[in-house]
A and B are shown apart, each in its own frame.
Chain A
Amino acid sequence: MRLAILGSGAVGQSVADLAGEYGHEVVALADSSSAVVDSDGIDVDDALERKISSGAVGDADPAAVFETDYDVLVEATPTTLDDAEPGFTHAKRALEADRHVVLANKGPVAERYEDLRAIEADSAGSVRFEATVGGAIPVLSTIEDETPQAVTAVRGVLNGTANFILTRMAAEGLDYEHVLAEAQDLGVAEADPTFDVDGTDAALKFVILANVLSDGGFSLEDATVEGIQNIPGSALDLAAEDGRTIRLIGEATREGIRVGPRLVPENGALAVTGTRNIVQIETRHAGSLHSSGRGAGGPETATAVLSDVGRLPEL
């Protein structure tokens, strides 16, 4: 497939870098202000080096990406809330040109699922978004394989930053502020970690899951969300007295979405440690399936994007 990649952050760069290994060709790569476009395939190494040295991937206008002959638009620009722009318009433009869209950007599927599906219905292209939930973990494709109707609930830990903080607090008996500072030093937490620790990032993923289970109907404002900022070390100590620990757990069902700190068995499946993610897919006929792995990171998320590309039909 010929890929046009919008967004040159960690994920976009990794998709460009790994595409060749998966048998695909990159014909366009853009960041927010520049692009490199070549219908014979761009020189990825060259573009990535240029991005590092000058901050721009190329000389062309980002809009030129849509003029290229591509099969799949990879949308890897930063997630935005509410109207999910400009990610939504990017996806729309590709679908209206009868191309496929693979999203790494959570915004359009969390906030405007029905709009996106409606546009997809009129297009020869299709939309996939495995990378938006759980990074390298095949969550959506597992639900697709089980068929969404047979899945009753999805639960789990889908934010590595919050999980890292809770794990360190429990293990070291430290307080939230202390561990957050450490996580920032290690690069696990962003300078502004609000979205991770207040539960919004996890909630977006569970909104996407609820949309997949129900074929739409949910956005972030339908989710009940609580973060971990108010959890002191003493709460984790008390949980441990009883063989429990606290994790930021999300739940998605056809009834709704809930994210918050919950007590889980210390040695249970959902008590993953560090930045690891886990999902538990509860099925009607086959019990619970668990899948754990790296929920973030450039190459990890790029593998999910490229798996999606591999599942797309030829146009």
Chain B
Amino acid sequence: MGNETSDGDDPETDGGVRPYTVRLELVDEPGELLRALAPVADNGGNLLSIHHERGNITPRGHIPVEVDLECPPDRFDDVVDALRNAGVNVIQAGAEHYGEEINVVLVGELVETDLSETLSRIEAEADSVVRDLSLSAPDGTDGISSARVRLAIDSGRADEALAAIRSIGSSKDLTVVEPLLGGEA
């Protein structure tokens, strides 16, 4: 499907809520689940469902739990922060709200300029999740290399995300090859 009708407006209206999914990792002890859910309710989140994967143990011997909740978009970060403050290990937060994927190609001294720091900044400042990374360094890691990064972002927020990536690129002297959005490219 094309995206010609998507005008970047989110569907919710003022005071609206959106669904989110949070993946947690819990210690297998009584009362842990309840302790983990309290910060959701305390921060204005509404629990929709809890998928407690008892049969599945994470590599660290913990139990993965998937929590679906809904809350106003501006409260979601508070929910996640509160979970973390309560000592709950949050594996993934809000993947559900990333409705769109974009690719960018970064060019420059990627390794010398700390690629993992670049990616963390992209996640934080562009409000995105790195889904996939492909690096090509034909001249070795101390030369010019290229990386293709696939990012999950909020629907209709591509312009903001790209602006943030542009500014990270210019601060680290990297060339950012952006996708061409708009029109029927």
Contacts and interface: CB of A to CB of B under 8 A. Distances in A.
A233 B107 CA distance: 10
A261 B134 CA distance: 19
A153 B180 CA distance: 13
A280 B177 contact: no
Interface of B: prevailing SS:
strand
A232 B178 CA distance: 15
Contact of B146 (A153, A232, A251): A232
A237 B136 contact: yes
B180 A239 contact: no
Contacts of B148: 238-239, 241-242
A262 to B, nearest CB: 4
B136 A238 contact: yes
Given A262-B179, A262-B180, A264-B185, A244 B136 contact: no
Interface in B167-185: 175, 177-180, 182-185
B105 A239 contact: yes
A249 interface: yes
A246 B177 contact: yes
Residue picked from A235, A251, A287, A288, most chain B C-beta under 10 Å: A235
Interface string A123-160: 00000000000000000000000000000010100000
Given A235-B146, A242-B150, A263 B179 contact: yes
A265 interface: yes
Residue picked from B104, B150, B175, B178, most chain A C-beta under 10 Å: B175
Contacts of B145: 232, 234
Contacts of A270: 180, 185
Interface residues of B, number: 24
Contact of B178 (A238, A242, A262, A280): A262
Interface in A225-281: 226, 230-235, 237-239, 241-242, 244, 246, 249, 251, 260-265, 268-270, 280
Contacts of A226: 175
A280 B138 CA distance: 35
A85 interface: no
Contacts of B105: 235, 238-239, 246, 263
Contacts of B155: none
Contacts of B164: none
A263 B138 CA distance: 21
Contact of B185 (A231, A246, A269): A269
Contact of A244 (B103, B107, B183): B103
A200 B102 CA distance: 27
A282 interface: yes
A191 B67 CA distance: 63
A288 B184 contact: yes
B103 A282 contact: no
Contacts of B103: 239, 242, 244, 263
B119 interface: no
A163 B4 CA distance: 27
A232 B183 contact: no
Given A234-B136, A263-B178, 9 more contacts: A230-B108, A230-B144, A232-B138, A232-B146, A234-B138, A238-B148, A264-B179, A264-B180, A282-B182
The 9 A-B pairs with the shortest beta carbon distances in the complex, nearest first, are A234-B136, A238-B148, A235-B146, A234-B146, A262-B180, A263-B179, A230-B175, A261-B177, A288-B184
